[in-house]
Amino acid sequence: MAEIKVPELAESITEGTIAQWLKQPGDYVEKGEYIVELETDKVNVEVISEEAGTIQELKAEEGDTVEVGQVIAIVGEGGQQPASSDKETVEKAEAPKEEAKQEEASAPADDSKKERVIASPAARKLAREKGIDLSQVPTDPLGRVRKQDIEAFGNKPQSAPSKPAASESKPAAAPKQDDGKPVVREKMSRRRQTIAKRLVEVQQNAAMLTTFNEIDMSAVMELRKRKKDKFFETHDVRLGFMSFFTKAVVAALKKYPYVNAEIDGDEVVLKKYFDVGVAVSTDEGLVVPVVRDCDRKNFAEIEGEIMELATKARNNKLALSDLQGGSFTITNGGVFGSLLSTPIMNGPQVGILGMHTIQLRPVAIDKDTMENRPMMYIALSYDHRIIDGKEAVGFLVTIKNLLENPEDLLLEG
């Protein structure tokens, strides 16, 4: 017999949430094979079995919070067992219960039906949360009810008889006055809970202020149009706007070093490195992987690393090292169509740059001439405790000037 324990995750992470069991009781596992996926505050971690054998018991269900070192599964010795053996064992064990409950025909049968159904722990938990009778859920070809079966069943319109069962199983969740309006309750993922907590902490603990400016993107767009094909042929990566903004941010941070700092008690820590976080939106929420040493990287290296990190983020393959140690953050709401916003800082950093959508707007060229130009609003949210308004405005003006004269970025790089 071997115990599967929650491994050491990172110095600052002591617990996680069971995101998904990859194996179920009765399944055979090889040594080194993944058996469970844990969701932590920052990334998801897959845990392996240190021994070959058959899963004997799962000691935690999907959605449960588990601590480092906690036993979450038991693996027993033995060869691979037929898929049907687990089903037969469960059926034999449940048979006496079924016979004993025949005498309770006059009593509500919801609980007994649930016990007679072969279902994974995750499916049973979800059924309890949704108030679904397991005996009413269609099974898979092996006669089992899985989590996805519960989800599919819950999304179907329910007949009138099934509604009382749902209301009886979760009376506390029902509104005081039943107005018949449909609602869905979803537990926040661990990552979403952490994001919410940290954003509130930043707003409570920092003197956050936001200043704005706008950039005429004509020169960058024209330069990118001329160079993008050759750039792709040479570097095998596309030339986007993020590399321009990243290089401009590095130049501005060098000019205004307190924007590249953090507060530690009564001290200001000025960072002499330029590790820029790039916010990436995923199905699980916003993550901020870090591009290291941006002052030493060229445009192609920055574009390639951003693309690699974004792909890893969306495939849930980021490592903790990809997310730690950033000194400043860039977030681009413009990809979703945002015209203007006030981004919240990524603590303990004291500054974040918000990019927005590029929009044609009339611009006064001189007192007699107007032209439609591709304009972008930019925003700097900053901690007013150590950054004054003059520095914040100067920071944005530096970025504006460099992007409106992108050749200067080559000199900065």
Provide the 8-state DSSP code for 259.
Answer: G
CA distance 75 to 47: 13
388 classed as catalytic? yes
Peptide bond into 348 cis (omega under 30): yes
35: left (phi over 0), alpha (psi -120 to 50) or beta: alpha
CA distance 310 to 394: 30
Q: Which of 140, 229, 293, 384 is catalytic?
A: 384
Q: Smallest Cα–Cα separation from 81: which of 55, 58, 57, 120? A: 55
Q: Which of 140, 235, 388, 408 is catalytic?
A: 388
25 contacts 57 by C-beta, under 8 angstroms: yes
Strands, sheet with 208-216, edge to edge from the N-terminal-most edge strand: 208-216, 370-383, 351-364, 328-332, 276-278, 290-291
CA distance 154 to 165: 13
Query: Which of the residues are catalytic?
Result: 384, 388
